[in-house]
Amino acid sequence: MTTAEPAPGLMLCDDLIFFSRVATTAKAAGLRVKQARSAAAMLDLANQAPPGGVILDLQADGLDLPALLAGLRAVCPVMPRTVAFGSHVEADTLRAARQAGCDRVLPRSRFVEELEVALAEWLIPPGATASG
């Protein structure tokens, strides 16, 4: 077992207020999450340091989810757990995220409901533990 701090999670989201809510929840759990405002920025961050987990806003402008997931597989030694959220009225988008290989896909309202209790599971790779 390691006592090293877990790798930060990455979140693709261009909504600063919503990202701040996730980042504050992560900090309270002894975790860190970094914001990527585009898929390209997320891949750059993942290439710099493999993330503990990835959270994806399916409404991100210009998101090509299969390409992003393929890019993450290419730059990460181990594919991070991937949680995606989107509008409950866009059932096709949620279904496509499941089919693309996201580990967990939630409507935005469920994502918010589960945030405090599930964030550590989403951001910490299996076998790792949060510090603090």
**9-123: in CATH 3.40.50.1000:** no
Residue type, 64: D
Q: Could you tell me which of 30, 29, 62, 31 has the C-alpha nearest to residue 10?
A: 31
Predicted pLDDT of residue 67: 96
Question: Tokens 């989403």 — which residue?
Answer: 122
Contact predicate 54/75, CB 8 Å: no
What Å distances lie between residue 87 and 16, 20, 49, 115, 121, CA to CA?
A: 18, 19, 30, 16, 22
Predicted TM-score (pTM) of this structure: 0.90
Predicted pLDDT of residue 124: 81
Q: Left if phi > 0, otherwise alpha if psi is -120 to 50, otherwise beta: which for 127? A: left
Structure tokens at 2: 């390691």
Predicted pLDDT of residue 128: 61
Predicted pLDDT of residue 38: 96
Structure tokens at 50: 């493999």
What residue ranges do the domains of the chain occupy? Answer: 9-123
Mean pLDDT by 10 residues, the chain (132 residues): 71 95 95 96 96 96 95 94 94 95 96 95 72 47
